Amino acid sequence: MFTPTSLIRPEIAALEAYTPILPLEVLAERLGLPVEQLVKLDANENPYGPAPRVRAALAAESHYHIYPDPEHTRLRAALAEYTGLPAAMILCGAGADELIDLILRLILTSGDVVLDCPPTFGMYRFDTEVCGGRVVEVARCADFSLDVAALETAARTHQARVVFLAAPNNPSGNPLPPEQLERLLALPLLVVVDEAYLEFAGVGQGYAPWVARYANLAVLRTFSKWAGLAGMRVGYGIFPAWLSEQLWKMKQPYNVSVAGQVAALTSLEERAWLLGNVARIVAERERLLPLLAALPYLEPQPSVANFILCRVVGRNARDLKLALEQQGILVRYYHNDLLRDYIRISIGTPAQSEALLAALSALS
C-alpha cells in the first residue's frame, strides 16, 4: 500500500522540529503583561528600530502591486557605494539567512561535510541538515576563539566543503583575528564569514575587501541589526564571481520584497542617523559590561557586538532566564550542553538596561 509519508526525504524526517520563538503578543498574554512593558533583549534586535524616513518611504511607495526588481539594481548600486566593492560582487537575500541556505544548496550533496564552530549561530547547522549535509563540530576554545589547528585537521579528515565563521561570533561576541582567517583561507574549502554584527565592531568594512583577493571567501551582511530592519528580512552577500554566477541562477526571482528593497535603500541614505544609534548601542554595551560583572552571579564576556554573553555562576541559568521572564524581561537561554550555564543579553536602550539591572539586583 502507498504510504504518503514514504515520500519524505529521510534526512528531513530525521530532523528535530525547529522550536519557533513566541510572538511578542502571545508571550505578553501568557505573562499577563502589556506588550509595551516587555523588555525584549533576546534576539539581538535594534531597540531604536528603523530610521524615521524608512517609515515615510514605505508609506509613500506606490508599487506594492508590482513584483519587485529581481536584480535589486538600485539597492546593489547603493551597497556598492557603502561597501566600496563593485555591484557585480553583491547579491541580496531575504535576510542573511536566505543566503546561508542558498550557498549550502549550491554546494552540498548528500553527506558532504560542513564545519561548524560551536557555540555559534544555529542556522549553519540547521541549513546543513536541511540540505542533507553532515555537520562536523570543531568546538571553540574556552575563551571562544577558534581552534584553528583542529579546524585544519577536521577539514582534511572529512574533506569538508564549507566552514562558517561568524565575525563577531554570536553568541560569544568575540572578533575573528585576521591571521586565523588567513590560515583557514589556505584550506581547500569555501570560507563563509558572517558579518551580521559588523557595524557594532568598529572594524570599518571588515573582511569584505578580502573577497577580491581570495577566491574561496564569501562575506554575509544584514540590515537586521545596525539598520533595525529584522522584520523586513534583507541581507546581502559579497561573493567571488564563480559563486555569485551560480547563486544568481538559483535564487527565487522575487526574494527581496518591494518593501524590503525600499527600506534597505532608504536605510543606506539614512546611515548617519542609524550609525548614531549603533554608537549609542556600543556605548551602552560598554556601560553595561562592568555593571553586569559587579553582580555576584554573572561573569560577562567582553563583546564587540550588540549583545553580551554571561556565564551564570552558582545558580541555574535557565531558572534565571525564567525568573527574568516573569518580570517581562526577555533574555536568551540555550538548551544545549555548551551553553547550559549561560544567558545572552542583547543591548537595549539605557532605560531597558536599568529595568534589567534592577531585576538582576533583586534576584541577587
Ligand X SMILES: Cc1ncc(COP(=O)(O)O)c(C=O)c1O
Minimum gap (Å) between residue 295 Cβ and ligand X: 25
Minimum gap (Å) between residue 271 Cβ and ligand X: 17
Q: Specify the residue for cell string 564569514.
A: 193
CA–CA gap between residue 83 and residue 2 (Å, rounded): 54
Minimum gap (Å) between residue 97 Cβ and ligand X: 3
Closest CB to ligand X among residues 172, 327: 172
Q: Let me know: does 291 contact 352? Beta carbons within 8 Å.
A: no
Closest CB to ligand X among residues 196, 217: 196
Closest CB to ligand X among residues 216, 224: 224
Point out which residues bind ligand X (CB under 6 A). Answer: 44, 95-97, 121, 166, 170, 194, 196, 222, 224, 230, 235
Minimum gap (Å) between residue 168 Cβ and ligand X: 8
Closest CB to ligand X among residues 228, 328: 228
Q: How far is CA 171 from the centre of its chain?
A: 9
Minimum gap (Å) between residue 51 Cβ and ligand X: 17
Minimum gap (Å) between residue 285 Cβ and ligand X: 16
Phi and psi (nearest 5°) for 272? -60, -45
Closest CB to ligand X among residues 123, 359: 123
Closest residue to ligand X, based on beta-carbon distance: 95
CA dihedral 208, 212, 215, 220 (to 10 degrees): 20
CA–CA gap between residue 173 and residue 249 (Å, rounded): 34
DSSP state of 360: H
Helix-strand-coil split of the chain, %, nearest 5: 45, 15, 40
Q: Which three cell numbers stand for residue 125?
A: 547547522
Closest CB to ligand X among residues 196, 360: 196
**How many C-alpha atoms does 196 have within 13 Å on its Cβ side?**
32
